[in-house]
């Protein structure tokens, strides 16, 4: 492709900004990033409170976040934030230690079996499911893998492995198929509580591409990265470093693709481009673009999570001593309840804590936002850490995905076959996974494949 190609990138989150970075590194300087909000970062959103920043979206990373590390190196920043730790409570607010055999003598056989199954899962992922952790989903439904390896070198890899078709199964069924049911008790912490749905509904491919074995073990061992100025700072730094900063407050009302050109109406003005990269939610692309029938068909199959975050003040005497996970509330039966609450700053009590809850399961009625909010605030009272005031709240469009039937029917391969068809390329969360590293890594792969 000609290096002077005029490229429009929709979205100034991790996927869009990373696309700009990787394009720039390949010599493409004629790109424009359009962001509808007044800030960059997407769900990496770190507002200020009492002179510090807290997290309303993404909280942390791990050493296997290689694309995020690309951004750090490009910008000259590093993960310099507070060290994190956690504890656990049951739904009554009692502090528990579910993985400590000394505190759970009667559960020692269960814990030993769990450890055995975790080891087994690690082994079969590397053998029976070779290629499972390649970024993106291209070929999986057909028993293939094709993309970048999850290694420091991230070399291109490809191959065939019919067993990969099992990844279309809900993770619960995948674990049962392989005799590793107890591993769900480990994987659920960094998955369901982080807003990615329940194991009886979400295809294993999503679970394991995000929580590949090394990434999950980093979470288990609390080998975590944070940033002093929040995860949003990563993307603010990248935006500042790029030759072409994202244009904020860009309201796109129409996109027309014809005669080899892309015409984008932004804030009432029509701009002409050669190529379009869409990192904003594809589900809503037909609302403002001349979506073709195949785009409408496939994008209509996308589902997403309703993930709610509250930032709350507490009285000093009610401030939690640490972050807490509530595993009892990470089940569909407890939909809408508090799953985790997060204390970012351990050296002071004049900061907010943030709470997280899901209110959507594919087989249940969606819980209204205000009902979920009240439930969470009531749960904080049960946890003996009642809120004195809500200072911020957010209901996210979160983790776009397709369910097992569409995944197994080759949704990803059909959408990947459309890349470039209408001078349009599709990136963002749905094409890989809804965390900042996977989306950034997919942008890297997209640029390598087509530009």
105 band by pLDDT with thresholds 50, 70 and 90:
confident
All CATH 1.10.405.20 domain ranges in the chain, comma separated: 101-220
| Mean pLDDT of all residues in 167-182 | 98
pLDDT for position 77: 98
Token output for 109: 């056989």
Look at residue 151 in the predicted model and tell me its pLDDT.
Answer: 84
**Bridge partners of residue 10, in order along the sequence:** 34, 278
pLDDT at 372 over 90: yes
Q: Which CATH class is domain 7-80+227-302+403-450?
A: alpha beta
Tokens 């956690």 belong to residue = 86
Chain mean pLDDT for the chain: 97
Q: Look up the pTM and report it.
A: 0.96
How confident is the model at residue 100, as a pLDDT?
87
What DSSP line would sit under 172-235, residue for residue?
A: HHHHHHTT-GGGHHHHHHHHTTTT---TTTSBHHHHHHHS-HHHHHHHHTT--B--TT-HHHHH
Class of domain 304-400: alpha beta
CATH class name, domain 101-220 = mainly alpha
What's residue 72's pLDDT? 98
- CA distances for 74 relative to 19, 39, 58, 63, 242, angstroms: 13, 20, 20, 17, 9
Residues of the chain with CATH 3.30.70.1990: 304-400
Q: Tell me: the pLDDT tens digits for 136-151?
A: 999 999 999 999 988 8
CA distance 258 to 263: 8
Confidence of residue 152 (pLDDT cuts 50, 70, 90): confident
Average pLDDT over residues 434-441: 96
281 HSE (CA, 13 A, CB side): 19
Q: What was the pLDDT predicted at 150?
A: 85
- Give the whole-number percent of the chain exceeding pLDDT 90: 96
For residues 155 and 157, what is the distance between their CA atoms, to the nearest angstrom?
6
Confirm if 254 and 288 have CB atoms less than 8 A apart. Answer: yes
- At residue 406, the pLDDT reads 98
Taking 90 as the threshold, does the pLDDT of residue 309 lie above it? yes
The string of pLDDT tens digits covering residues 232-268 is 999 999 999 999 999 999 999 999 999 999 999 999 9
pLDDT band at 206 (very low <50, low <70, confident <90, very high): very high
Q: Residue 295 — very low, low, confident or very high, per pLDDT cuts 50/70/90? A: very high
106: pLDDT strictly greater than 90? no
Residue 15: pLDDT over 90? yes
pLDDT the model gives residue 136: 95
As a whole number of angstroms, the distance between CA 18 and CA 144 comes to 26
pLDDT given for residue 405 in this prediction: 98
- Burial bucket for residue 197 (CB in 10 Å: 0-12, 13-18, 19+): buried
Q: What are the structure tokens assigned to 157, written together?
A: 């890899």
Q: Does the structure show a pLDDT above 90 at 93?
A: yes
% of the chain residues with pLDDT over 70? 100
Q: Please determine, for residue 102, whether its predicted confidence score (pLDDT) is greater than 90.
A: no
pLDDT at 104: 80
Residue ranges, comma separated, of all CATH 3.50.50.60 domains in the chain are 7-80+227-302+403-450
Provide mean pLDDT across the span 83-105: 92
DSSP string, 116-149: HHHHHHHHHHHTTTTTTTSSS-TTGGGTEEEEE-
pLDDT at 386: 98
| pLDDT at residue 201, rounded to an integer | 98
Distance (Å, rounded) from C-alpha 206 to C-alpha 368?
26
């Amino acid at each position: 492709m000609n290096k002077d190609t005029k490229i429009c990138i929709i979205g100034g989150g991790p996927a869009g900004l990373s696309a700009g970075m990787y394009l720039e590194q390949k010599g493409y300087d004629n790109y424009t990033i359009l962001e509808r909000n007044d800030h960059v970062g997407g769900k990496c959103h770190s507002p200020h409170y009492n002179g510090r920043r807290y997290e309303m979206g993404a909280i942390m990373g791990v050493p296997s976040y290689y694309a995020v590390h690309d951004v750090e190196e490009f910008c000259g920043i590093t993960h310099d934030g507070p060290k994190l730790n956690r504890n656990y409570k049951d739904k009554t607010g009692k502090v528990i230690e579910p993985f400590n055999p000394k505190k759970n003598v009667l559960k020692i056989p269960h814990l030993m079996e769990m450890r055995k199954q975790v080891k087994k899962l690690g082994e079969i992922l590397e053998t029976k499911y070779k290629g499972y952790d390649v970024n993106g989903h291209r070929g999986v439904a057909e028993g293939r893998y094709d993309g970048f390896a999850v290694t420091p070198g991230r070399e291109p890899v490809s191959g065939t492995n019919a067993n990969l078709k099992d990844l279309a199964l809900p993770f619960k069924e995948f674990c049962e198929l392989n005799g590793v049911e107890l591993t769900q008790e480990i994987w659920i912490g960094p998955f369901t509580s982080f807003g990615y749905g329940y194991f009886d509904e979400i295809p294993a491919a999503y679970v394991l591409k995000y929580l590949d074995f090394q990434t999950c073990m980093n979470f288990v061992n609390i080998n975590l990265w944070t940033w002093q100025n929040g995860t949003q700072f990563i993307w603010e730094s990248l935006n500042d470093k790029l030759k072409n900063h994202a244009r904020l407050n860009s309201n796109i009302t129409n996109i027309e693709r014809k005669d080899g050109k892309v015409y984008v109406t932004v804030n009432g003005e029509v701009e002409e481009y050669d190529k379009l990269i869409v990192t904003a939610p594809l589900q809503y692309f037909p609302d403002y673009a001349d979506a073709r029938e195949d785009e409408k068909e496939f994008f209509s199959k996308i589902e997403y999570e309703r993930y709610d975050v509250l930032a709350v003040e507490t009285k000093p005497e009610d401030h939690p001593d640490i972050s807490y996970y509530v595993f009892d509330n990470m089940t569909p039966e407890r939909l809408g309840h508090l799953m985790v609450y997060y204390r970012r700053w351990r050296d002071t009590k004049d900061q907010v804590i943030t709470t997280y809850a899901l209110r959507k399961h594919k087989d249940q009625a969606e819980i209204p936002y205000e009902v979920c909010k009240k439930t969470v605030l009531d749960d904080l009272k049960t946890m003996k850490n009642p809120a004195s005031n809500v200072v911020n709240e957010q209901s996210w469009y979160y983790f776009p995905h397709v369910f097992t039937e569409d995944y197994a029917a080759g949704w990803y391969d059909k959408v990947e076959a459309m890349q470039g068809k209408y001078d349009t390329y599709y990136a963002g969360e749905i094409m890989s996974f809804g965390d900042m590293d996977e989306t950034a890594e997919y942008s890297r792969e997209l640029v390598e494949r087509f530009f």
